[in-house]
Structure 1
Amino acid sequence: MNGITKAYQRQRPTLRQFGRDERGVTGLETAIILIAFVVVASVFAFTVLSTGIFSAERGKETIHAGLQQSRSSVELKGSVVANGVAKKVLSSANTTWTTANAASTTIANDTTDKKVGTASADLTVASTFTTGLVAYENASSTFDLSSLQSVKFWAKAASSTTANYYELVLDDTAGCGSPLEGIGIPVLTAATWKQVTLSITDNSDMTAVKCVGLKIRTDEGTNVINIDNVVAQGQATTILVTLANALEGEPVDMTEPGDADADGLSDSDSDHTMIATYTDKDQVARDIYWTSTFIGQNDSDDLLESGEKVELSLTLSGISGSACSSPVVGETKWDIELRAAGGGSVVIERTMPDLIDLVMNLN
């Protein structure tokens, strides 16, 4: 037994040997982990460094681009001024209109049921009336409506009407016998005053309007209608702004665009050195036509340089058309963005006064 025990003891590893083996394995694993950690950390550090360098370069590019844009921009100087065409009262309805068919219509002044002034035109249509001109009023002098685009008035019908049942007519001859244009009146609710705004389709021949009248398009029997204060709405035609070079930066090209068809918009083949965009609640007019006039010191070229000022006249209503599909009338809130070809933009926001006049300071 003693021999066997001694042999077993010689073959069995001692605790010290086990400790040495475990320490060897642990050291190898630790070395591998450390190497892996160093490799991962190196890759991570390289990635972070590369990202930082890239971000720094992009940041520098953004700053340089921003500075370049700022140095190629314009800024507003002084007041914003609007030119316009004042409203024209076609009929105050304070005097009695003239009947076009005495047998089937009764015309009176209603001094009780009115909206503006002392009376409204009270027009009663009998059941025997079918279609045609009901009544009219001749103006004491002619009106030039060639630069105006809309008519506004008050109307009240005793019975509800369908759209275009009534028609407002404008004529350059007394009696409204050959109207230049007839504009359908929208739906009227029974016994309710409504302020109606109608767009003039073609104002090119309305240089001497003499008569305003009311016509019935379809036969719907007896009715009574009151008309009050028929007005061709005043509207803005141009906006004037003064610009200077921002930050005493790079010269800004102010070469004027063309407008060969006089529609109030820049021609497509223009240089488009300055893009002007008009916006209000009804419309967006892009690339509207403008002209420029340098003010004070300048070197007679088309570049807006440091120390120079230029006045831009921005067209809202053209000769043969309009940059704005809807007229810019009183109380219209609008903005115009001016964007230089190589730089930033300046946005001008204003509200038109209630009463449109020939010249309006909008500050």
Structure 2
Amino acid sequence: MNREKPNIKCPKCDYEWHTRSVLHMVSCPSCNQKIRNSVRAQLMKIVQQKRAIVGLETAIILIAFVIIAAAFSFMVVNQGLFATDRGKTVISQGLQQAGTPLIVDGTIFVRTTPDGTAVNYAVVPIKAFGTNYVNMGKNQTSVILRVGDKAWANAYLGVLHVGYSNGAGYNASSTVYDPTGKQFDDFVGFQMANQTVTGEPSSLYVNETYSAGYAKGLTTGVVFTVSNSNGDEALNSGEEGYLLVALGTDAQALARQQVSLELRIENSATISIVFQVPASMPANSYVAVY
């Protein structure tokens, strides 16, 4: 039988033995002298060391949990901020698309044919509302035109430019036409230019007098022009714009017929403009209808 190594010694009789007691005092097996249990102190020291190690490990684990919680909290806050910002964007876009930046600003005029039986032209004044400017370029705007039981999917022809007759057709300049101080008949007979002033192919529509345009044949469609324009294709706040609606021979509006325009600007709601041709009209003149 293996004898365990002594771990305590009696100071009176010098007897050594091995004990596992955790009591403060133990009795010497040789002389029965009560002596202080030094083994317990060693055991307590070991226990305290183990407790310190366990406490350190607990602190490390706690710090790790705090770091993970902080990272998770940051992620949650970041997602919340992203969701809030995205919500603001969606609401802003929704409000923008729910409203229209254009309104009718004044009286709509129609022009009667030389015999007074129909209308072949209309002028609709509009202005920007609630925004600094509205881009009226051909790629950003569309107009659904309906006359009686006839309709055109997109009758918008773009912004009116300054043009010059070249005999066989028209030359279009890069300058936007400004009707300030002009009569409607001076420019409403717009025609499509076949080339630019430098000889390049063109599909821009340019100004022409009503009489010349009527003689050559009006093109059914809608063009846009701006009074007191700053030279771009946008309708700025404070400017007065005009939708020039030409109705060709096969699209003329007869008495009591309804004419409607559905004007759609990029990223906005549709503005509907509806008017009815009067029952009786003077020939070859402008008549207010709205």
Asked if TM exceeds 0.5, the reply is no
Calculate the TM-score normalised by the size of structure 1.
0.35
Q: Return the structure number with greater helix share.
A: 2
Q: Which has the larger radius of gyration?
A: 2
Q: Return the structure number with greater strand share.
A: 1
